[in-house]
Every structure is written in C-alpha cells, then in structure tokens.
Amino acid sequence: MHFFRLVRTGNLFILALSQLILSAIVIRPLLSTFAMDTGVSAISVFLLVSTSVLQAAGGYAINDYFDRESDRINKKRTPSYQPQTQKRIHLYLTLASLLTGSILAFRVESIALAVVFFIVPLSLWYYSSWLKRLPFVGNLLVALLTALSIVLTGLVPLLELRTLYGATIFASSIPLEVMKITLFFSLFAFSLTLVRELIKDIEDMPGDRHSGYRTLPIAVGLTTTRSIVIALLVFTIPVIFIFTQHLLPFDNLTAGIYMTVLVVVPLVVTLLRILKASEQAHYHKASVLIKASMIGGLGYSLLYNWQLAQYYPINSCLF
C-alpha cells in the first residue's frame, strides 16, 4: 500500500488510460480511414504506456524524496519510506523506463525518441530537486511533460508507419490529420494541467513557505496567482469551442453540446469557486473539478470515434 501511495497509482492509471484510449479509440480508427491502421501495433502501444507510467512513477518517488518536509505540513503525514529507499525506487523505475523506451525507439527506428525518453526522467529529477521551488517554471514543465505524453501517442504510430512505408508517409496528409486531433488533446491537457499545478501551489503554500520554496503564490502573491489561473481558464474555454466548431469535419452541434456539459461547465464552476475561495479547502475542491473536466475531455474520444464511424463508415471504428 505504501508503494502505491508513493507512486500515485490513481494518477498513473489515468495516464495509462489516456494513452490507451487515444491510441485505440482515436488514432487507430483515424488511421484506418487511410487503410493505415496496421501502423499501430499492440507491442508499440504497450511499450509507450509502460515507459510513460514507469517514468511518471519514478518522478513521483523522487518528488516525495525532495518534498519530505513540505509534505509533513501540507499533507500532515510522514513519508512511507526512508530517504535512501525512495531514491532506490526512483532509480529502479527510471532504469526500467529507459529499457522499455529504448526498445520502443529501436522498433520505430528513432534516435530522437530515445533521446526524449532520456530527457524526461532527467527533467523530472530537476523539477523535484530545483525547478518546483521556483515560480511558474516547475508548473510549466509538468504541463509540458503531460502534453508530451499525449503528443507521443500520436507520433509513435507515425514513426512506425515510416518504418513500413518510408519517409514518403510524411509527404501525405496522414501526419497532419493525426497530429491535428492529437495536438488538440495535448493542448487541452497542457492548459488544464498548468491550471491544476498552480492551484496545488496555492493549496501547498504553508509547507512550501516553511521549506523556503518560491512558488508563484509565494513569489507574487495569492491575488496575482488567482488572476493567472482565471486567465488560463478563460483562455481554455473558447479554444475548446474553436476546435470543435472549426477543426473537426463532424457534427459540430453534438460535439459542442458534449464539451459544454462535461468539460466547460466544470471549468466555469471551477472559475467561480476560485473567485469565491477563502481557504485552502476551497482550492482543493477546485483542483478536483479540474480533474473531472480533464476526464470529460478524455471521454470525448468516444464521441470522436462514433462521429468518425458516421463520417467514414468503416469496420475498424469502435462503434
């Protein structure tokens, strides 16, 4: 039980589920409209999800190592493991991720992908040891890494297609179509993760201040940080509607209704809660609402798959 708490099993499950859903319900059916769905092999998807989960788990382990004092105050709990044990867990998880990542990079013949899988755990180490103590920089890095996990879900099949059909695959319209939907999900994940990270910094102000951190709410004040969070939410909402109304060749009304009810409404409620927040517990509830909105956005994959099947009546779609 201590290990599962250390590596944030719930968050890892959402990460794995996000990549699996996007691969099986969005990317593969989309590729099937070009008769290219064989470009998404189960082995590559397994290796990608395994690498992402192992690297994230290692990141959580080393983050707990550096946050021991802060967590004693913010979460009112003592660490589950001794410091050296936490470092060993981080090392083993990271080495395992480098192994699975290297195998995947070899399969799709991409040195750049191998470099990415090396940079990610290095970035997580610097985030935990240094960057998270600085205003905004650490928040931005976490949001970028979250978006990267989505981008890779669309990129890996394209790299695998390159091994089958050569570089000419990138001269077709396939990469554009795949990355267009992938970038929407990644932009959505980036924006809401950044919002959630800033809200968590507000929640953790007592322990962070005690530990000498200079997170954004400590550096510039609670009022300014709240204004930034509100601005990000106000930016995200119209982007969602712009995408669903102008970038997808589907029934825009259905997509708009779905996004309004399951994504935008929770964001609006979050915005109102932040405006009225007067204590730490209020920000925790706002953080939970952000996660609910993210799950709603992920659920759009099902609607996308159904719409894809209506627009391109092929057998390889889910519905």
- pLDDT mean values, one per 10 residues, the chain (319 residues): 85 95 91 74 94 97 86 68 90 98 96 97 95 94 97 95 85 86 92 94 88 91 93 88 70 82 92 85 88 91 84 57
Measured CA distances, 38 to 86, 232, 258 (Å): 41, 38, 30
Domain segments of the chain: what residues? 2-311
In angstroms, the CA 52 to CA 72 distance is 28
pLDDT of residue 283: 87
Residue 187 near residue 148, CB atoms below 8 Å:
no
pLDDT of residue 55: 98
pLDDT of residue 319: 46
pLDDT of residue 207: 85
pLDDT of residue 38: 61
pLDDT of residue 37: 63
pLDDT of residue 78: 67
In angstroms, the CA 130 to CA 66 distance is 9
pLDDT of residue 105: 97
In angstroms, the CA 138 to CA 135 distance is 7
